[in-house]
Structure 1
Amino acid sequence: MLRKFAFILFLITSTFIYAQTATVKGVVNNEFKTPIEGVAITCAQYGAETNQKGEYILTIPAGIDIIITYSHVTYKTFEKKFNIPKNKTLNYSPTLTVKVEEMEEVIVKNETKEAQGILKIDPADAVKITSAKGGVETVLLALPGVNNNNELSTQYNVRGGNFDENLVYVNGIEVYRPFLINSGQQEGLSFVNENLVQNINFSAGGFQAKYGDKLSSVLDITYRTPKEFAAGVNASLMGAKANVEGTLFNNKLSALLGARYQNNSMFINSKDIETNTKPNFTDVQLFLSYFLNSKFKIDFLGVYSLNNYNYTPISRKTNFGTLTDPKELIVFYDGQEKDSFETLFGAVNGTYTVNENLHLGLTLSSFHTIEQERYDILANYNLSEFDSDFNSKDIGNDNSSPQFGTQLDHARNNLDALIGAVDFKGTYKKNKHQVDFGIKYKHENFRDQLKEYEVLDSIGYNVRPLGNISNNEPYQPYDGAIVPFNYINAKNNISINRFVLFAQYSKNSFINSHKIWYNLGGRAHYWTVSDVNNKNVNQATYSLRGQFAIKPDWDNDMLFRISGGMYNQPPFYDELRNPKGEIIPTVKAQKSLQAVIGNEFSFDLWNRPFKLISEAYYKHLTDVNIYTVDNVKITYLANNNAVAYAAGLDFRLNGEFVPGTDSWISIGFLKTEENYDNLGYIARPTDQRFKFAMLFQDYIPNIPSVKMYLNLVYNTGVPGGSPANTNPYNYQNRLNDYKRADIGITYVFTDAKNVSQKTWLKGFKELAFGVEIFNLFDIQNSITNTWVRDVYSKEYYAIPNYMTSRVFNLKLDMKF
């Protein structure tokens, strides 16, 4: 009788308790915001399951702490603690991640990306790898076919192209580099903040039609959407970085904030020019994501950057020439340079999931930059020759007649650029079929005022540009005007309106047991260049592109692909401006036909995963707008009077050379030439014939907390350019080969893989201290030549402008 009474009492008590209930409902998505069907949601004896739309409703006990578990056979199990008042309903929409742990970049499992010729790079590499500038571009420069012989610049050339031929997207929004930058030491910070990045995708050519109208490459960056609170601080002798992230309003709003400060005076002062320099580069970036509901999300990306560059050269001493013909240039400077580059960027993006097949997105963006470049620098130089006869008692002494000269450089350049865009994109995906489409309108306004001159004086006589009145002083009197050797005086105010359309069809399927992917797409680009007098020049281009890849059902893990088509680059502001600073609105789009053949072979070596990527490519270019490169300044002729080609081979082997760490070796062969006005083919400024690069990671086996990062690059020399107002066909000498090694050694006190139990480290998710040595072997690399004319022979000497020497740095990395 007592047992029956107890059982009845238990039933009554249980019914009373669980009658006090609450409700949790929402939508379960994956990382790509796609609803997941069949997710089991459990709490004690309560349970539910998501439908085809990922929706669920679960009843739970009210007023007490309970844990709800979300589980699925394909995704990682996720748990969340709740305490909800009775009769209340809470909306909660978690995001599940796949069970397969995200692998390192060398063993990427996303076969679709591989088939599309897109390389997925681990964002951690961009943070860890040692280099003078750091960031995402450092990793790119370790890839085959990607080059830059300037460690102070984040710009890069891809397969024979120049800096202006690369597309860079952040969260699907195109970003731009500064316009008046002349040298890498002015450049400052890259637009991409590597501490905010979630995904890095890169294509070195043969990319899809859904990407934009450029000739060389695509860098597609995605900033992460935070799931929880986190913060990080990086400090070094060159500056500091900080970032903080978290969620608000019941996880509906996520915020990611990053700030950076950099001062590269250590590198500038290591060059062969004695200076008093104060470069300060700062930026702040904010990324917000707000989920209005399970179908509609709004993103905001805002960036503010300010680069101030104050440069006062004092003196320079450069030895050059050969062992049998040594020379020395000594320069004393007077004057200074003061530059300012201020940029404001903002974009709002809305994405709407119409249904499980159709996704739409609309982006509004605005980019505004105000740039000032001002300098007055007077250089008094002396060019000397030395006695190189080993049998002479005067060996090493100056035995030349003194050759004195003066050069005055002046600039007052101002630029105000405003670029606004409206971009609509859509994706329809059903089964194995996918259609991407989009339309974009962009308005560009550039207002500039350029005033530059260069006055040359040689032993008291003014040097005039070629084609000027001849001067035979002192034998004949000269009564002509004294004019600068170079002179620019231009004022422009132009607007460019662009309409861009694209559509692309993609499918993955099988041929017997062999998996295949293919896509075919087209683009149309219409633009109008207008000046202040409402004179309009209208032009249009179209292009077709395609890709095909097959993964044979073989014992060996291999993938073959071929891609290519028509790639056009309508002129931007820089390409419309000729050497005199004048805007030429009739400049046409540069065009190229490209073909890329590639193979990826994944295999095991020493029982560890490796991958060998091989690609061969060819580009045939027409309507080429030829240019000269001085440091990072590109000057176009603003015509289309040339044809060109680029051909090469790229190889990349990556894997665990050391167990548990990823490293890679890159080798590239390239030949690119141009033919201007049918004068014959000569090397283009980016003709880098051979490249070897290695990113190597290691650790001490007995002390795994001590890690080493080595960044090694060898590039053959590129053409050294030509003096102003001369025929480049007469100057085809090359710069010396570029050789550089940067190394970093870091001691990790604690991180996610090795959590320290020490009390003082419990507040850190990661804490590391490191020492970096840039240009480990102190090799003199040159980026350009300074041309000095011998007043007696009238010949020019190419005097190398050397880059940075060995520099030491200390750094501290913290995550909370």
Structure 2
Amino acid sequence: MKNSVIFLILLLIPSFLLAQTGNIQGKVTYQNQPLPGVNIIIEGTLKGSVSDDDGFYRIENIPEGTYSFKFSMIGFKSAIIKIKIISGKTVLLNCNLETEIINLNEIQIIDIRAQRQEDTRTSLISIKPENAKLLPGAVTDVFRSLGALPGVLSPNDFTSQLVIRGSGPDQNLIVMDDIEVFNPYRLYSVISMFNPEAVSDINLITGGFPVKYGDRLSAVLDVTNRQGDFTKSFKGVIDASIISANVVLEGKNPFNIPGSWLINSRRTYYDLIIGSFVKNAGLVDENVTFPNFFDVQAKIALGPFENHTFFLNGIISRDGVELISAKERKTPDSLGVFNKTKNDLAGFAWHFAPNKKMLNKFVVSWYRNQGDARIDASLLDPSVNRDDFEEFSADTISQYLLGMYASGDFVFEKYSLENKLFLQWGDKNEFEAGIGVDFIHTKVNAELDIDKQVLDNLELYLNINNSIEDLSVSRYYNKYKVWADNKFKISDKLYIQPGIRYDYYELIEKAALSPRLSLSYLLNPSTTLRGSFGLYYQSPGYEKIIDQARAFNLSKNNTTALKPERAVHFIASIEHWLNEQWMLKSEMYYKKFENLLVQKIVKGISYYTEPVPGKDIFSREGWTRPVPFLSDSVTQVPINNSNGYSSGFEIMMEKKKIKSGDRFAGWISYSFAVAERKENGSTYPFRFDQRHTLNIVANYRISEDYDIGLRFKYGSGFPFTHPLNVQPRVILKDSDGDFIPDSPEIATRKTGSSGKETVIYDLNYGKDSQKFNDRIPAYHRLDLRFTAFADYWGLDWQFYLDIINVYNRSNVINYDYYVKDDLSIGKETVNMFPILPTLGFSVRF
């Protein structure tokens, strides 16, 4: 409420009180070609800008006077130009830079990507690719680097998926070079598709994103792959560690064709190193392949040709695993897994800039994500303690083993056309509009063959048997979008950006209209206030929900009644520069979720039994005959029957490297957040509800030859569900010979040398209203990275030691529960990464 009043007062401030200022704009070039990513700083002030893909830059609200403008970029000689700014005028200043030969060990990472005052976007975080590469514990992965930012969580150490402000990974929009990507994860979410050596911009909007982004409820990650170096015919970098290798090659186009090319490839070798170790230990059979991944990405820039520039993008990616457990395993159960996943992308973009105030982008793309998987397992009954069955053969304890076979495949394919227009008009306003269509094909097949006792248990106690069915669905559908917004410069201090978006989702035959509004106000030269409000919609689709661990049947009969999921965002922020290097930022947010997709509940049959007084509860006679009663049962049918909210407060203080002599950079952030869901009349915490999160990131340049980085994270525990008690297992028997199980009875198995029949007990987790009834212990981890810089054979080298979990904290990911012999509940802790050192190097040539 207070923030609303402040913004209202600011709207009423008369413009004649505002300072007299002017603007400057221009183009940065090298050999008459546009030069993107150049830093432009007004020396002695906090103001600055970065040239865009076409070399253009603009700095506004500069008080009248004479200033020195510094143009700098790694690999080029800096240029300093003194010029006078006149009130009410826009000065044109172009700059042509020259190349400079430098050594890597002389380079300081300079992070000056401060958000411009006129940028009305709230919750925007821009990080430099160099920072993503050097962040300790991030394994040179963009997604894992984002986990150190406020409002961003990762479910556990083993995945790079992003949980942002109380929303799941499926509610985040991932965009690469103006192309939406369904599955940005590789190697089963261990790493992401983005190579920090090959990207130029990483922009994360954790809420309140503008209307050019849609069909997601929570956040946007917009990544731009960089162009190749058009100053040299050939150059490259090789980065290798004990787990992966990365090669990037680039250069200017041949035959005097304007533009550049860049190609990069990555390959993990868990299968070569870890696989050999495990095979030699006899834990798996010889004819297996451990998880492996490789990809090839390329970007070609052609132009500019008289205001026209063309871009070609391509990605080929493969990852998979083939695993069969060997007879030498300690436990008698066995597991066979086969999985292959492919991600392919092709894109063409045409950028047309007839003048400095207009840019039109036309993008056509094709994207396909497909996979094939099989699981064939004989697993120990989940009710028993696995440690009690070490060194037993499968033949001697077959009554404790349960069989399961599952196979499936999927294809998500998309053809897209989109046109975007950017226009500056009146010298004070910026208009953006776009129109596009996606032609989508999704196909999902799943076949299940599960042990009857497992199915009975799922049906009678977990009430999900109706969702454990074979599935085969293939759908073709289109999505249409039209959007427009305009940033109005009300005064030198106040900017307002209203926007509207229209989406039509053919899968559900529904349309959605999304109004949004954002604004920024310069309270003083060091302080900017921002606020945003908006409606956000998300359509159902297998490309979004496949990671939810829920089975949905999206056949036509089940989707026509669905509505798009809906969220409302309210965000207010304040950003204050303590000086030219230290920045303090704080945000408050509230997200309301409606019409969330869940599985339909129908009435099913469960069975109740109770102990017979004076009888042995380990024998079938110690329990009454099971009596049926009506209970809820989950199906594969999707319905809009859940809602919720997330709210929170975030604060971050950041130290940036502004000058070349700066040695220290980093940030500290704290987040308080609450996220809840309501489903089927029950309210419970969101599964990734983390109330308190602390991040500390620091980098210190010890000398020209050595660098040290630190990353510490603390997070309060996620919710989890622990069992309430134990109960006898009830199974259905065929009592009349018609091959239809219809008679409930207490399940038993033979135990001991006497072969006595003993009742099988299962864990009872209670009803839906009782889930997430506890929290795992708090998570905390310290990572360090030591980097040495050297110059050998005329090449720039980096050697690094990255240590994950320095003090070997046992962070809990989950608990495995089992029934003890005395019917009490036993617990085994499953932990995340132990201390994990990694050695690596990179060389530039």
User: What are the within-5 Å matches in structure 2 for residues 54-73 of structure 1?
Assistant: none
Equivalent AA in structure 2 for residue 715 of structure 1: G
Corresponding position of 1:668 = 671
Describe the SS at the equivalent of 1:639: strand
Indicate the residue corresponding to 1:731 in structure 2. Answer: 771
Pick one of 561, 585, 607 that aligns with 2:559.
585
Deviations 1:328-359 (A, max 9, x none): xx954313211100121111111112333332
RMSD (Å) for aligned C-alpha atoms: 3.9
1:806 aligns with 2:780: no
Tell me what 1:443 maps to: 439
Structure 1 segment 446-461 matched on structure 2, within 5 A: 446-455=442-451
Q: Distance in 2 between matches of 1:142 and 1:411?
A: 37
Q: Deviations over 1:10-50 (max 9, x none)?
A: xxxxxxxxxxxxxx99787774365889xxxxxxxxxxxxx
Partner residue in 2 for 1:544:
515
| Number of the residue aligned with 1:216 | 218
TM-superposed CA distance for 1:727, in Å, is 3.0
Tell me by how many angstroms 1:520 deviates.
0.6
Q: Which residue of 2 aligns with 1:532?
A: none
1:391-410 correspondence to structure 2 within 5 Å: 405-410=400-405
1:772 correspondence with 2:802: yes
**1:612-631 alignment runs, 5 A limit:** 612-626=584-598
Supply the distance in 1 between the matched residues of 2:125 and 2:138 (Cα, whole angstroms): 24
Write the letter of the residue equivalent to 1:621. Answer: F
- Give the match for residue 295 of structure 2: 283
Q: 1:384 to 1:468 in 2, by over 3 A?
A: closer
Listed as ranges, the matches of 1:383-782 within 5 Å are 383=384, 405-430=400-425, 431-455=427-451, 464-467=457-460, 487-510=468-491, 515-529=493-507, 537-553=508-524, 557-573=526-542, 579-583=550-554, 584-586=558-560, 587-604=562-579, 609-626=581-598, 638-655=638-655, 659-679=662-682, 681-700=683-702, 703-721=703-721, 727-732=767-772, 733-750=774-791, 760-762=792-794, 764=795, 766-782=796-812
For 1:274 and 1:787, how far apart are their aligned partners in 2?
A: 28
1:316 and 1:673 mapped to 2: Cα distance?
46
Matched, 1:262 2:282: no
Q: For 2:587 and 2:56, locate their aligned partners in 1 and report how far apart those are by CA, in whole Å.
A: 37
Partners of 2:80 and 2:654 in 1: how far apart? 37
> Which stretch of structure 1 is more off in the superposition, 568-577 or 207-216?
568-577
1:625–1:815 distance in 2 versus 1, CA, 3 Å: same
Output the amino acid matched with 2:482.
L
Alpha-carbon distance between aligned partners in 2 of 1:410 and 1:245, rounded to the nearest angstrom: 47
Equivalent pair of 1:189/1:282 in contact (CA under 8 Å): no
Q: How far apart are the structure 1 equivalents of 2:313 and 2:276?
A: 35
Letter in 2 for 1:410: Y
What residue identity is the alignment partner of 1:434? E
Structure 1 pair 727–29 and aligned structure 2 pair: CA distance change class (3 A): same
Alpha carbons of structure 1 residues 379 and 591: separation in structure 2 relative to 1, 3 Å: same
Separation in structure 2 between the aligned mates of residue 661 and residue 315 of structure 1, nearest angstrom: 54
Counterpart AA for 2:438: K
Q: Deviations over 1:261-285 (max 9, x none)?
A: 11346899999x9954611100000
What is the identity, as a one-letter code, of the residue corresponding to 2:811?
N
Instruction: Confirm or deny that 1:346 pairs with 2:377.
Output: no
The 1:126–1:269 alpha-carbon spacing in structure 2 relative to 1, beyond 3 Å, is farther
1:171-186 equivalences in 2 (<5 Å): 171-177=177-183, 186=188
Taking a change above 3 Å as real, the CA distance of residues 726 and 244 of structure 1, as seen in their structure-2 partners, is farther
Residues 298-335 of structure 1 deviation map (CA, whole Å, 9 limit, x = unaligned):
11110000001233457999xxxxxxxxxxxx954313
Q: Is the 8 A contact 2:663 2:701 kept in 1?
A: no
Quick check: 2:345–2:368 contact (8 Å CA) kept in 1?
A: yes
Residue 199 (structure 1) aligned with residue 201 (structure 2): yes
- TM superposition shift of 1:380: 2.7
In the TM superposition, residue 610 of structure 1 has moved relative to its aligned partner by: 1.0
Post-superposition Cα deviations, 1:447-477, rounded to whole Å, max 9, x if no partner, equal 221113443769xxx853233899xxxxxxx
Q: Distance in 2 between matches of 1:410 and 1:722?
A: 27
**Offset at 1:139?**
2.2
**2:565 partner letter:** Q
- Quote the Cα distance in structure 1 between the aligned partners of 2:677 and 2:788: 49
Partners of 2:99 and 2:113 lie apart in 1 by: 32
Selected match of 1:302 from 314, 326, 335: 314
Q: Is the 8 A contact 2:447 2:469 kept in 1?
A: yes
The code of the aligned residue for 1:571 comes to P
Match of 1:479 in 2: none
Given that residues 712 and 781 in structure 2 are in contact (C-alpha distance below 8 angstroms), is that contact kept between their aligned partners in structure 1?
A: yes
Q: Separation in 2 of the partners of 1:435 and 1:620?
A: 29
Q: Secondary structure at the match of 1:164?
A: helix
What are the ranges of 5 or more consecutive residues in structure 2 without an aligned counterpart? Answer: 1-29, 37-50, 58-78, 84-92, 101-106, 388-396, 601-634, 724-763
Aligned length: 661
Displacement of 1:110: 3.2
Determine the C-alpha separation between the residues in 1 that align with 2:782 and 2:99.
Answer: 48
SS of 1:466's equivalent? helix
Give the TM-score normalised by structure 2.
0.71
Q: Residue 586 of structure 2 aligns to which amino acid in structure 1?
A: S
> Counterpart of 2:127 in structure 1: which amino acid?
I
Q: Structure 1 residues 548 and 420, CA, compared in 2 at 3 Å: closer, same or farther?
A: same
- Take 2:462 and 2:421, find their aligned partners in 1: how far apart are those partners? 62
1:131 counterpart = 2:137: yes
- How far 1:200 moved relative to its partner? 1.4
Shift of 1:636: 8.8
Q: CA deviation at 1:250?
A: 2.5
Whole-Å separation in 1 of the counterparts to 2:511 and 2:819: 45
SS in 2 for 1:228: coil
Cα distance change of structure 1 residues 783 and 80 upon mapping to structure 2, 3 Å threshold: closer
Equivalent residues of 2:31, 2:96 under 8 A apart: no
Give the partner amino acid of 1:735.
I
